[in-house]
Amino acid sequence: DRQQTLAYSPESIADLRRRASLLAEVRRLIHAGIATGCDLAAVLSAWKLAAESLSYFALREAASTSEWFASTVPPWWGLVALWLLWRLASRQRGEVNPVFGARAAAVVLAALTLGIFALLGRAMGVEISGAFVGLFGAMSYGLFVVCGALGERLSAVLLERAPAADYVAIVGDPTAIGPVLERVKRYRGREVHLIGVVLPKGYSGAEGLTVSGMNVLGEISDLAKLINQEQLTRVIVVDQSLCPEEAEFVRRTATRMGVVTSHVLEPLKPRREARWEVGSHCGLAVVNLRPVEFGRSAGERVKRVFDVVCASLALVLLSPLMLLIGLLIRLTSEGPIFYLAPRVGKGGRYFTFYKFRTMYANQCSREHVKELNEKDGHIFKIRNDPRVTPLGRLLRRFSLDELPQLINVLKGDMSLVGPRPLPACDLDPDGMSRDFRHWAETRAKVLPGITGLWQVRGRSELSFEQMMDLDIEYVENWSFWLDLQILLVTPIVVLLGRGAH
């Protein structure tokens, strides 16, 4: 009887695993295809509606809206390519957040549209009026939200009826597997079919009963029979509820029969700032908590896309000005054009910080002017710094010396908006502060920025305590809209030269 229980067909299990892998890929393609189709439909519809609306109200002159529509296809195609790259880069493993993602994407795409069409339309020989740009931006926002929601609903209906990729059983004590069951039930990917639960020794005769609404399939000793009977492709093991011998039996049986074993590490609480990875190191089976490099939420991923697009456009548009500044620096004083120094970034990590040089090359040290410092804490400021060149004073007044930091943004060291990065020498070697630890740890949660609340609420006129409060306020109240407000106010503050010295 024991031999019969452990009987299995390696060929059938291998076929089952191949089928599961194929089904998983098909489901992903269905979801991606529907989402992409809805995105394209939203862009095309917004473009066509905007063109027809302006034509109807005689706000533009064109022989045919169809001809005009066809002639202006290339600009939005590049925009769609950017959106598709963002979708692929920001998709979380195994799960998506369609509700927030659709709205966030709509915001980003509306902003991208306004900028790209305004900049590239005339260069392509196509006159695009401001009325059209505004109308198309508003329509694309609404249509992306609506089409995204409809696409997610259609995808959910189709995937609900499609065959599941994984046939899963959960193994563990009934007192411990409840939270795991609930999490699997809430799984948004709809790629799993939860068959039931398998209990440890001592629950003989429990077949037919339920645990948290799921059928009990049997005991661990029946696992091989259940794998064949239910065509399981994965078992999820709650290790802490099993004795070592039972956990080892499950692992050996599942491995021998070609079934994936997933172990739930309950004592290690999931952390938002780290991503789980299972692997090997030095011959040991390990679980890595790898820091998330692209943000912890959909909103922060939108922030990163916005940073890259805006920094790229700014570098292109401002490159003549930056070349002129570099030439003036070279002609007016000896030394390099750029000032490179280690600054403290996210998490306390050092990075190379770029600025236009504004000081005399042989007087960059603070040692002989430290008694002139007008600030306390970790800030070093001198109103009439003797080390600054005449050209440097002009550059600092209008923050033009900060333009090379757009390169830092593209590299991922900085963001357009965030707490200003401090020199490494102003903080402790770990990038923190023993005297102001809460402030240092809070600001280290985000990327430093080219501009921030400091710059729009007083710049160098602020005290160190006020600067700390603004850093904490920014991190604790961050939103994409707050970044947009800061970016809109910054040029006004810079042109007025408030607090710059």
Q: How many domains does the chain have?
A: 3
Tell me the CATH number at 178: 3.40.50.720
The residue behind tokens 């980003």 is 108
Instruction: Copy the structure tokens of residue 143.
Output: 């249509």
Please indicate, yes or no, whether residues 176 and 126 belong to a single structural domain of this protein. Answer: no
Specify if 480 maps to a domain.
yes
Q: Read off the pLDDT of residues 453-497 as tens digits, 9 standing for 90 and up.
A: 888 887 667 778 888 889 888 988 888 888 988 998 888 888 876
Please indicate, yes or no, whether residues 315 and 372 belong to a single structural domain of this protein. Answer: yes
**Residue 451 burial class via C-beta count within 10 angstroms: exposed 0-12, middle 13-18, buried 19 and up:** buried
Question: Which residue among 112, 135, 161 closes a domain?
Answer: 161
Please indicate, yes or no, whether residues 180 and 143 belong to a single structural domain of this protein. Answer: no
Please indicate, yes or no, whether residues 314 and 393 belong to a single structural domain of this protein. Answer: yes
Asked whether residue 7 carries a pLDDT value surpassing 50, the answer given is no
Please indicate, yes or no, whether residues 174 and 145 belong to a single structural domain of this protein. Answer: no
Specify if 70 maps to a domain.
yes
Specify if 276 maps to a domain.
no
Confidence of residue 130 (pLDDT cuts 50, 70, 90): low
Specify if 434 maps to a domain.
yes
- For residues 234 and 237, give the distance between their C-alpha atoms in angstroms, rounded to a whole number: 10
Question: Which residue among 126, 161, 196 closes a domain?
Answer: 161
Share above pLDDT 70 across residues of the chain, in percent, rounded to a whole number:
61
**Residue 220 half-sphere exposure, CB side, CA atoms within 13 Å?**
26
Confidence of residue 366 (pLDDT cuts 50, 70, 90): low
Please indicate, yes or no, whether residues 346 and 488 belong to a single structural domain of this protein. Answer: yes
Given CA atoms 491, 495, 499, 501 in this order, what sign does their dihedral have?
A: positive
Instruction: Copy the structure tokens of residue 366.
Output: 């603070």
User: Please, which contacts does 205-211 make with residues 24 or more away whose CB atoms are closer than 8 Å?
Assistant: 211/174, 211/177, 211/178, 211/181
Please indicate, yes or no, whether residues 466 and 350 belong to a single structural domain of this protein. Answer: yes
Please indicate, yes or no, whether residues 184 and 66 belong to a single structural domain of this protein. Answer: no
Please indicate, yes or no, whether residues 239 and 339 belong to a single structural domain of this protein. Answer: no
Amino acid letter for position 297: S
Specify if 277 maps to a domain.
no
Instruction: Copy the structure tokens of residue 412.
Output: 């991922």
Given CA atoms 366, 370, 375, 376 in this order, what sign does their dihedral have?
A: positive
- For 34, phi and psi rounded to 5 degrees? -65, -45
- For residues 397 and 384, give the distance between their C-alpha atoms in angstroms, rounded to a whole number: 12
Amino acid letter for position 419: P
Please indicate, yes or no, whether residues 190 and 148 belong to a single structural domain of this protein. Answer: no
Asked whether residue 13 carries a pLDDT value surpassing 50, the answer given is no
Q: Which domain holds residue 21?
A: 14-161
Please indicate, yes or no, whether residues 486 and 340 belong to a single structural domain of this protein. Answer: yes
Q: Read off the pLDDT of residues 392-431 as tens digits, 9 standing for 90 and up.
A: 889 988 889 999 999 999 998 999 999 998 888 777 777 7
Question: Which residue among 115, 130, 161 closes a domain?
Answer: 161
Specify if 5 maps to a domain.
no
